[in-house]
């Protein structure tokens, strides 16, 4: 298990003395490619920028090295913790939805309505079209108090490096995955971090596992937040929509989650599927990088040859899901639990990469395969450039530079 050094902040690879918080703050303002509009949405750097990712209370100025959460904590912080705890209960909520469904099927008074609902969502309610029935409520839901408290817990910050014309369609590739992809959810499924002000007219649809959209009732919550499944049909239907319709994909998926060690940036680009999706629709690719996403939890990272890691890889291959062993902080202590550590996550949205529209079989046609490979390498280069342009400003004490695995 990764543990922080006994004292002092982490050192940047190849650097001498770690930066102070003041120096990091100056670097934020001077970071190349950051516009005035983008920094307006970015909270001012705090002294916690130079602290360890695990020091929610253990080493921060507020926590002062204590283990238990003190009784006298500002109400807003307690509400933020409650909002994040609510988010972490979405897993049990899915099980509860299945229980309610089974109970409704067994009840003679609700059997027919429930059977009709299940048939409707299975055969006649494609996710891309289903999101439109929540258009009137979405503005209120995506910016509600609960989600504002959720994103303020970390807090989340969004940085724009280039304008995205609303006349185009986009495929956002988000890195790294982290344990739970808190940054991706905060920026692409809510309206609490300034997305609409920075990218007006661009409507991202965050992709999730197909299984999540199969859960009765729970799928309605996801659709209302504009979260859809990652099937090929849904991706094509979204990008077939009006100008500005876009996809947000956490590209690395389960493979990247298993490498979510604090202070590191392991990016898995073995798959070309997101490039094919963009090429089939002629959508621009946009690299997105979240600094400190991997610092929100500590994971148990066994060696690749260990039985535990082989078991994790087997589950990943069979179920497309990563059984990551992790821990964060608790509701009443700063060191052990399933809540993420309070760590400021800065998500930088890069410049769009034009992708020509290509018809035919993108897996077998030689010209199409060559185009996909060329765009894939260009995307990797753009992601690496994005990291080096902003890493010193937003994570000066990282343990390692970006590691792109292709």
More confident residue, 386 or 314: 386
As to burial, measured by CB atoms within 10 angstroms (0-12 exposed, 13-18 middle, 19+ buried), residue 7 is exposed
pLDDT surpasses 90 at 323: no
Confidence band (pLDDT; 50, 70, 90) for 31? very low
> What's the average model confidence in pLDDT over 350-367?
91
pLDDT at residue 361, rounded to an integer: 86
Percent residues over pLDDT 90 in the chain:
67
pLDDT single digits (tens) 119-141: 999 999 999 989 989 988 898 99
pLDDT surpasses 60 at 406: yes
pLDDT surpasses 50 at 189: yes
What pairs with residue 327 in β-bridges? 298
pLDDT surpasses 70 at 293: yes
pLDDT surpasses 80 at 284: yes
Of 208, 192, 219, 191, the residue nearest 133 (C-alpha): 219
Q: How many CB atoms lie within 10 A of CB 40?
A: 11
Residue 157 lies in a domain: yes
Residue 221 lies in a domain: yes
Give the pair of three-digit tokens for residue 70: 């003190």
Give the pair of three-digit tokens for residue 344: 């400021």
pLDDT at residue 33, rounded to an integer: 39
Residue 327 lies in a domain: yes
pLDDT at residue 65, rounded to an integer: 65
Q: Which of 146-155, 359-368, 382-391 has the lowest mean pLDDT?
A: 359-368
What pairs with residue 162 in β-bridges? none
Residue 30 lies in a domain: yes
Give the pair of three-digit tokens for residue 39: 């920094």
State how many domains the chain has: 1
Q: Which of 19-28, 77-86, 383-392 has the lowest mean pLDDT?
A: 19-28
> What's the average model confidence in pLDDT over 275-295?
96
pLDDT at residue 255, rounded to an integer: 86
Percent residues over pLDDT 70 in the chain:
84
Residue 48 lies in a domain: yes
More confident residue, 36 or 365: 365
Residue 280 lies in a domain: yes
Report how far apart, in Å, the C-alpha atoms of 158 and of each of 4, 321, 325, 349, 366 are: 27, 27, 28, 8, 39
Residues of the domain holding 179: 21-88+125-405
More confident residue, 31 or 96: 96
pLDDT surpasses 80 at 227: yes
Angle at 117 between CA 111 and CA 122, to 5 degrees: 125
SS (H, E, C) the chain: CCCCCCCCCCCCCCCCCCCCHHHHHHHHHHCCCCCHHHHHCCCCCCHHHHCCCCCCCCCCCCCCCCCECCCCCCHHHHHHHHHHHHHHCHHHHHHHHHHHHHHHHHCCCCHHHHHHHHHHHHHCCCHHHHHHHHHHHHHHHCCCHHHHHHHHHCCEEEEECCCCCCCCCEEEEEECCCCCCHHHHHHHCCCCCCHHHHCCCCEEEEEECHHHHHCCCHHHHHHHCCEEECCHHHHHHHHCCCCCEEEEEECCHHHHHCCCCCCCEEEECCCCHHHHHHHHHCCEEEEEEEECHHHCCEECCCCCCCHHHHHHHHHHHHHCCCCCCEECECCCECCCCCECCCCCEEEEECCCECCCCCCCCCCCCHHHHHHHHHHHHHHHHHHHHHHHHHHHHHCCCCCCCEEEEC
Residue 93 lies in a domain: no
pLDDT single digits (tens) 138-170: 989 999 999 999 999 999 999 999 999 999 999
pLDDT surpasses 80 at 7: no
pLDDT surpasses 80 at 14: no
> What's the average model confidence in pLDDT over 318-332?
87
Q: How big is the chain, counted in residues? A: 406
More confident residue, 60 or 315: 315
Q: Are 301 and 330 in contact (CB under 8 A)?
A: no
pTM of this prediction?
Answer: 0.83
> What's the average model confidence in pLDDT over 32-51?
39
Contacts with 286 (C-beta within 8 Å, 6 or more apart), sequence order:
164, 170, 171, 172, 173, 349, 350, 351, 352, 353
* 18-27, 40-49, 375-384 — most confident range: 375-384
Residue 116 lies in a domain: no
pLDDT at residue 191, rounded to an integer: 95
Confidence band (pLDDT; 50, 70, 90) for 40? very low
Give the pair of three-digit tokens for residue 82: 């409650």
pLDDT surpasses 60 at 63: no
């Amino acid at each position: 298990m990764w543990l922080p050094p006994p004292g002092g902040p982490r050192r940047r690879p190849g650097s001498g003395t770690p930066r102070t918080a003041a120096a990091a703050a100056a670097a934020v303002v001077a970071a190349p490619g950051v516009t005035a509009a983008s920094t307006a949405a970015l909270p001012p750097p705090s002294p916690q920028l130079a602290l360890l990712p695990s020091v929610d209370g253990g080493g921060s100025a507020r926590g002062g090295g204590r283990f238990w959460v003190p009784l006298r904590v500002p109400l807003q912080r307690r509400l933020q913790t409650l909002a994040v705890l609510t988010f972490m209960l979405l897993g049990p909520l899915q099980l509860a939805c299945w229980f309610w469904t089974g109970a409704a099927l067994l009840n003679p008074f609700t059997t027919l309505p429930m059977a009709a609902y299940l048939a409707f969502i299975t055969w006649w309610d494609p996710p891309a079209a289903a999101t439109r029935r929540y258009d009137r409520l979405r503005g209120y839901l995506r910016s509600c108090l609960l989600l504002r408290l959720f994103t303020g817990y970390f807090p989340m910050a969004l940085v724009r490096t280039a304008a995205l014309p609303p006349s185009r369609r986009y495929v956002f590739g988000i890195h790294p995955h982290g344990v739970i992809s808190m940054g991706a959810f905060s920026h692409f499924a809510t309206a609490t971090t300034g997305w609409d002000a920075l990218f007006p007219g661009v409507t991202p649809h965050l992709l999730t596992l197909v299984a999540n959209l199969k859960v009765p009732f729970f799928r309605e919550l996801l659709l209302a937040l504009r979260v859809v499944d990652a099937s090929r049909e849904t991706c094509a239907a979204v990008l077939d929509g009006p100008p500005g319709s876009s996809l947000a994909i956490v590209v690395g998926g389960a493979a990247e989650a298993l490498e979510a060690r604090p202070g590191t940036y392991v990016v898995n680009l073995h798959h070309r599927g997101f490039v094919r999706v963009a090429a089939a629709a002629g959508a621009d690719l946009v690299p997105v990088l979240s600094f400190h996403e991997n610092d929100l939890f500590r994971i148990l990272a066994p060696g690749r040859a260990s039985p535990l890691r082989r078991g994790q890889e087997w589950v990943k291959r069979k179920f497309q899901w990563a059984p990551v062993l992790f821990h964060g902080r608790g509701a009443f202590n700063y060191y052990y639990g399933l809540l993420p550590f309070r760590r400021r996550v800065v998500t930088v949205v890069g410049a769009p990469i034009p992708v020509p529209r290509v018809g035919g079989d993108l897996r077998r046609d030689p010209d199409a395969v060559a185009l996909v490979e060329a765009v894939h390498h260009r995307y990797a280069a753009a992601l690496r450039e994005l990291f080096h342009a902003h890493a010193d400003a937003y994570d000066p004490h990282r343990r390692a530079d970006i590691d792109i695995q292709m």
